A and B are shown apart, each in its own frame.
Chain A
Amino acid sequence: MAQTISEKILSQHAGKPVKAGDIVIVRVDGVMATDATAPFAIKAFRQMSGKKLWDSGRVSLIIDHASPAPNETVANLHKLMRDFAAEMGCRLYDIGEGICHQLMVENAHVKPGDLFLGADSHTPTYGALNAFGIGVGSTDLAATMLTGKTWLKAPKTIKVTLNGAFRKNVGAKDVALFLIKQLGAEGANYQAVEFTGEAVTSMTLASRMALANMSSEMGAKAGLVDPTGLDLWYPFEPTFPDAGADYARELTFDVSALRPQIAKPYSPENVVSIDELKGTKIHYAFIGSCTNTRLEDLHAAAQVLKGKKLTNTRLIIAPASKKVFNDALKDGTIEILSEAGATFITSGCGPCVGSHLGVPGDGEVVITSTNRNFQGRMGNPKAQVFLSSPAVVAASALAGEIVEPE
């Protein structure tokens, strides 16, 4: 039986051949939950009469969504997580370590071929590693913390082939936004997406992560990137689809003419080319999130802002992790961005989810490198949020209006 990447990984974890549509119980290689989801997972775990984790070495808790604690309620939820981790002997990443998905990849808690459950909707990011990452809610996660297993329906797969080479200032984020527009916000609901083609296999790990991350905005259960060209610091066994595997849809695009893409309020599928938005006034710019604040993203921003001064707007940057921050510190990137006037905040989700650290004012227009612009997403339903690549965010912050980087 010719299999897709999903079918192969799920077969390995079900202990029997699996094809799309099958409902199977699978073993899970690792789980993680954040301060947005871990408290309910802990509550559910206790209600399930959980006394110990199925495998404490495979459980990670991350404090990243409202970090450091903005108020006493959140402080107590963080404390609950620290206490639980100490009691159960599992891993805890405390404030400032970084965003959950970045930490799981950076520290190799998730590896190629794994089936990983995250209590966060952007868990498909691990498809960049050729792993099957699924986002679940707190109760599902609690059940896996207890049993090491979950149940799921093996998804059909949409195969997306991206041919050609990107133009300057166009990359993973732009093509991801373009694809969300083509497929729609529910275009891949209940399905997996496989990304292949030379525009994909030539991508860095960071870019692959941005692409796989945005598959969540197509509704995908998992976004699996072709492992060809995947460069990791440890050896791994890649999982390729079989020739003749059965796909629900096959789409092919040439990226060579693609222009920078921007999603307008209030949906990541509301995407247009930058040309339609040039001149839109911007009040606030943010570079952050599990989509786009890795070293290459900070480099892209620094290239735009080197030797310049931000006078027209405010720019906030939340590096994806402490490691990213330290690497950018050592290579001079932080200095360039800080000299230009950018404000650095704690590595973590920052204003992405609207809990704290940079909520926009009424009527303000925000340009951000994040992945969602739902109404109220950054904490104020009366603000307008536009999504783009870090280079476009930096250039627009400098100009005070939407512009293309030179």
Chain B
Amino acid sequence: MPTERLLNILEMLSREHSDHHSDTLCAVAAELTELSGAGIFLLSGGPQYTKFCSSDDVADKLLDLEITLGEGPGNEACNSGVALHEDDLLFGKYDRWLAYAPAAVAIGARSIFAFPIGIGAIRIGALILYRDRPGPLTERQESDAYLVASVIGRAILETRAGATELDLRGELGLAHSLDFSVHQAAGMVAVQGSLSLDDALVALRSHAFGSGVSMTTMAQSVVRRETSYDPESRRWRGKEARNP
């Protein structure tokens, strides 16, 4: 079970002192996977990507490069929803990214690994990890990268819903994946409020937070049809959900 590693991430998150919450996430991703650096870009409505954070200058330039060229591992991971490994950008087995690969090598990356960030049908962005040497990820590094991408996905949505770093640590400490009722409730709220699924999830999290209950408790109340979202008044109605 990844509990220990999850606690490790939380510990790293609290240890890193950064004015930018987002850069902390990238620094933790790089440290945990023991790679040279990490960057995250997000889908910002439509096909455009925006830089979210980077752990160093090389990672930052790699993100710029992908955004400018519109090709690269992050783009591909995000579009396909599948992780992508390029063990050697210089002598790789693929002929993809004709423009990206040589430019990435010039910037200082030799191997690159991209993991999609998302929750079900919600596509959030991609985590890009690079190393200045060629070579594959170990199984442990790969597993850690999946874990960190999943934690980051949740952290990004919760931050959008107004969660502080402290709230986040509390919630992630319980379980890194969301309860199934949360996915169902997000679907229900999306229909109730004619919202996108990610906006519905953010709204659900904000409302849970504002009511002082966990997201799971609030989601269960929505699924039982005791709580619902009214799009006209932009308000929630129903009986107060309570933590059990």
Chain A complexes with chain B = no
Which chain B residues have a beta carbon within 8 Å of chain A's beta carbons?
none
Which chain A residues have a beta carbon within 8 Å of chain B's beta carbons?
none
